[in-house]
Amino acid sequence: MEQPLLKVSNLFVELEQHRILEDISFEVGRGETLAVVGPNGAGKTVLFRTLLGLIPYKGKIEWIPGVKIGYVPQRFSIEPDLPLTVAEFLKLKGGSPKEIETEISSVGFGKEILNQQIGVLSSGQQQRVLIAWALVGNPDILLFDEPTSGIDIAAGETIYHFLHKLQVGRKLTILLISHDLQVVFQHATKVICLDREQICFGPPKQALDATTLARLFGVELEHHHCEHHD
């Protein structure tokens, strides 16, 4: 059996003496999509930041040796008058001009965007530039904090269809935080439910039963609702 790309065992995170994550264990294999779900304040972004080595923790986080990680944060606030073009921004990641053009094109932009200042782009355009940034260097795994479902990468292609296409084309592993259960059922191979502690882990159709959903979101959801509503 192939070694998992990421294996997390008994993970505990405390910030300012508050327990944020308690006894979290899961693993992700190559080419899988793991969705992280849970109410606001459940520790989802903290989990990502811990996996990236930005927050101290207890327990074990084991990445496969030599793994390359791409990260797309939830928000990206840039001053509109920041004198930095898209090309200059992507060069900071160490991409060659050819690679930068390839990744900009992969998120649906033409070359002309490279000369635009990043601060004047719309939030949807900035999100796409961030995805291109994450793809520079050809990562094995992409961590995606709340992709905005409203972003169309190209005509009619939502961010989730785009991610799926990327994943298949590049054999990428994807970890994504999402509030949209329809997306989770449609695109994730595994789901982990957090509310500071681990509530569930497994394939979405098995893990996200009515009891789990009621516990996570405090509402009684019928299964057919789960598939169509946030």
In the chain, the percentage of residues whose pLDDT exceeds 70 is 93
Phi, psi for 80 (deg, rounded to 5): -60, -30
Tell me the average pLDDT across 149-162.
74
Confidence of residue 156 (pLDDT cuts 50, 70, 90): low
Tell me the average pLDDT across 139-143.
95
Tokens of 138: 């050809």
Mean per-residue pLDDT of the chain: 88
d(CA 120, CA 110): 17
Between residues 158 and 154, the one the model is more confident about:
158
> Domains of the chain: which residue ranges?
1-67+140-230, 76-138
92-132 tens-digit pLDDT: 999 899 999 999 999 989 999 999 999 999 888 888 899 99
What superfamily does domain 1-67+140-230 belong to in CATH?
P-loop containing nucleotide triphosphate hydrolases (3.40.50.300)
Dihedral, 211, 215, 218, 220 alpha carbons, nearest 10 = 0
